[in-house]
């Protein structure tokens, strides 16, 4: 037993010496490594299968989680982009209002639309300014492009405005080009006003700008009201049938201006018998009475 052990030790030491000093066993070692590679691969196979499965399962969970996170982020960004578009449009409208105030002779108050009348026949708006802000009945309402209407009801925090296109509304106007006076009445359509009591021989043309005449003391003079779009002359009629398109964006404006006429007397609550041109029956409006 001892002789065998000594012989084995001698052989091992001889092989180590031959390999280290004389490089005699490189070929043999390469052959043994090549023959042992499949054994190593098979021995490592269970661990590699386990790692592969963990990676696959983890990658799927990560992909699902990342996909959900990106979906939420995309929705948030889409919502923000929509809000940004709305803010940009609102900024444009506010810039328009600011530009229009620079040309006004009167003090103004910016108000925001908070509601509309549910009755399709009535063209009325609800504003977020009321009596505590100095709003009064009969106060003119404009946007960046022209006259919108007037205040008809006031509460402490809100007010209600009647648009110039309401079927019960009428306003004295004049042609900007030559000063011809007329009465513009609402038709119940947001895109049209009817000009009453204009003689067929009156100098008025398509494209003429109508502005407030200032008669009656309700609306200050000089505010754009509408542009003539249609003139129908009937030889059998004394008056021409004239239609105009409102200058103001009646169906789009979100922010409006309430006008305080600095050159006019302080407004009073009008009595039905003494009210100037305002919300009155159409039959009572005649430019010859002005």
Between CA 228 and CA 245, with CA 281 as vertex, the angle to 5 degrees is 15
| Most confident residue range from 32-36, 91-95, 151-155, 270-274 | 151-155
Q: Is the pLDDT of residue 288 over 60?
A: no
Least confident of 13-17, 88-92, 219-223, 248-252: 88-92
pLDDT at 206: 92
Q: How far apart are CA 88 and CA 96, in angstroms?
A: 12
The band of 121, judged by pLDDT with boundaries at 50, 70 and 90, is confident
pLDDT at 126: 92
pLDDT at 80: 57
Arithmetic mean of pLDDT, 200-229: 88
pLDDT at 51: 72
Percent residues over pLDDT 70 in the chain: 68
Q: Is the pLDDT of residue 267 over 90?
A: no
Arithmetic mean of pLDDT, 80-92: 60
Residue with tokens 């009646």: 250
Q: Is the model more confident about 42 or about 228? A: 228
The CATH number fitting domain 107-289, selected from 2.40.10.340, 3.30.540.10, 3.40.50.1980, 2.40.128.110: 2.40.10.340
Q: Please, which residues have CB within 8 angstroms of residue 201's CB and are 6 or more apart in sequence?
A: none
The pTM for the full model equals: 0.57
Q: Is the pLDDT of residue 182 over 50?
A: yes
pLDDT at 185: 93
The band of 10, judged by pLDDT with boundaries at 50, 70 and 90, is confident
> What is the domain partition of the chain in residue ranges?
13-103, 107-289
pLDDT at 98: 61
Q: Is the pLDDT of residue 89 over 80?
A: no
Q: How far apart are CA 64 and CA 69, in angstroms?
A: 9
Q: Is the pLDDT of residue 227 over 90?
A: yes
pLDDT at 280: 40
Average pLDDT, the chain: 76
pLDDT at 290: 36
pLDDT at 161: 93
Q: Is the model more confident about 151 or about 107? A: 151
The band of 100, judged by pLDDT with boundaries at 50, 70 and 90, is low
């Amino acid at each position: 037993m001892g002789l065998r052990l000594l012989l084995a030790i001698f052989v091992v030491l001889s092989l180590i010496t031959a390999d280290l000093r004389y490089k005699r066993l490189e070929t043999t070692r390469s052959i043994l490594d090549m023959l042992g590679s499949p054994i190593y691969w098979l021995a490592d196979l269970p661990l590699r299968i386990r790692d592969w499965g963990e990676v696959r399962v983890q990658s799927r969970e990560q992909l699902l989680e990342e996909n959900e996170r990106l979906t939420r982020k995309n929705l948030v960004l889409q919502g923000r982009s929509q809000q940004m578009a709305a803010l940009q449009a609102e900024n444009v409208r506010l810039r328009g209002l600011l530009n229009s105030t620079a040309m006004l002779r009167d003090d103004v108050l910016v108000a925001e639309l908070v509601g509309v009348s549910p009755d399709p026949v009535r063209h009325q708006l609800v504003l977020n300014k009321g009596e505590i802000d100095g709003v009064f009945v009969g106060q003119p309402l404009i946007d960046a492009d022209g006259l919108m209407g007037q205040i008809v009801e006031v509460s402490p925090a809100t007010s209600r405005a009647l648009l110039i296109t309401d079927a019960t509304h009428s306003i004295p106007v004049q042609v900007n080009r030559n000063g011809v006076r007329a009465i513009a009445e609402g038709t119940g359509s947001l895109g049209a006003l009817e000009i009453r009591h204009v003689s067929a021989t009156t100098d008025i043309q398509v494209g003429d700008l109508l502005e407030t005449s200032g008669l009656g003391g309700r609306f200050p003079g000089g505010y754009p009201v509408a542009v003539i779009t249609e003139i129908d002359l009937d030889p059998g009629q004394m008056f021409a049938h004239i239609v105009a398109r409102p200058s103001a964006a009646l169906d789009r404006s979100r922010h409006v201006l309430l006008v305080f006429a600095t050159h006019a007397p302080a407004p009073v609550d009008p009595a039905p018998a003494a009210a100037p041109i305002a919300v009155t029956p159409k039959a009572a409006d005649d430019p010859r009475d002005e």
